[in-house]
Structure 1
Amino acid sequence: MEPKGGHVLLLCLMIIFRTVDVICEAQSEETRLVFGAEGGNVTLQLNRNDVEDVSWVYDDDVRVKTKPGKPIEIRDPNHKGNMWATEDASLVIMNLSLEDQKVYSADLLLKEKQESNVIRYDLKVYKILSAEDILLEGNITNTEPCGILMTCVVKEPNVTVTWRNGSGLIFTGNVLNIEDVHSSLSITCTAKNPISNITKAVKPSQFCRGKTADNKRNKGLGVIVSILLAVIVVCIITYFVYRRVAKT
């Protein structure tokens, strides 16, 4: 008995879907974001125990090969001496620099399976922030009451800046405007990247004091000058009045 056309179509679709499943199972890919500190070490961890062989690809070529329990094979002359492999064939990069920031693809050949697995590691390298990387500046915007425009200057790029007081978060961003500064107010600026953070504290009123003192000094000088001018005017008037009286 001849199979009907619908049965043939169904059989073809089942074969196609099965073929697609086999292809997907034969090769799978994933991407992992990895952070490293400049001058430090980072491990591109496999987290598998069924690996037979790994080809590490970056800069458009196979640069390193690792095998579980075997010595590493480095084909990249720029990395000889600062790469090694762990027992499970994971790759360790030592003494990181900004030049190491790139995508590393691990092409895994798995044991007893006719399939491969690709893991991509997107490595980002950052500097560990220090106290020298952050500077706090204050500019007067108003004198009475004292207003300050605080700026948290960070030398390094790719950082998040937040301001806090004793109660918690105030503002996210480099610039903070304080309209009425109280003498007891203390705030901190925190600069953070994915691997480190640094915090500095400041009392905004310290920027007000200098300005207030200048204002008071200027006012005092103005009063003294006014008094001297008044005395001079009185003396001149007295002198002319005396001369007129003397002539009569």
Structure 2
Amino acid sequence: MLELKNVETFYSGIQALKGISLNVEKGEIVTLIGSNGAGKSTALKSISGLVKVGSGQITYKGNDITKKQAHETTLLGIAHVPEGRRIFPKLTVKENLLMGAFSVKDKRAIEERMERAFKYFPKLKDRLEQKGGTMSGGEQQMLAIGRALMMKPELLMLDEPSMGLAPIIVEQIFDIIRELNDEGITILLVEQNAYQALQVAHRGYVIQTGAIRLEGYGKDLIQNNEVREAYLA
């Protein structure tokens, strides 16, 4: 479904990605793990078109999307839930969700997508008129994922969904990630909690200083001594 070939990305002349190559097959959960500043978030931004790729190629379902912008990749079926949730704090829950369906004109389709979001996050249904910025961190994360589901994505990219959340909420988020995948959504997950990520993922990549250092099945990476010492200790 998704393939990166020798992708290099720069921020103000500083190289953030150093020729990374990876692939995500349809129906998989693939995770990227690594320390802060390793390039995980930049990889997702490069795919979704939030940052410009310097060189290399990104293909989605066989089509070159290397130079696509964010609004274009969204229309192709790629939803990106960014680090820090990035909801609209002054908009209500309902308004935030509707922003996720900005390209949908059919009111019935919008209602169906909203009900689907409520299936995973029933609390949102009770908070429709509440301003997003007044919600707890866990609720805002649920809203951010719910907004992404309004796009009816085939590929869902999640950047640090567990950041700053209580353990019980983290468990809920990862349970929902499994459910979404079981329903056919392919997931690319960036996560600081390496153990949780590798438990849920079919495969994983380890990024260090902008380059892929290790890759393998999630269960195998959990047992890898280098991974255990660096990320699971």
Normalised by the size of structure 2, how large is the TM-score?
0.25
Higher Cα Rg: structure 1 or 2? 1
Normalised by the size of structure 1, how large is the TM-score?
0.24
1 or 2, which has the higher strand percentage?
Answer: 1
1 or 2, which has the higher helix percentage?
Answer: 2
Relative contact order, CA 8 A, sep 6+: which one is greater?
A: 2
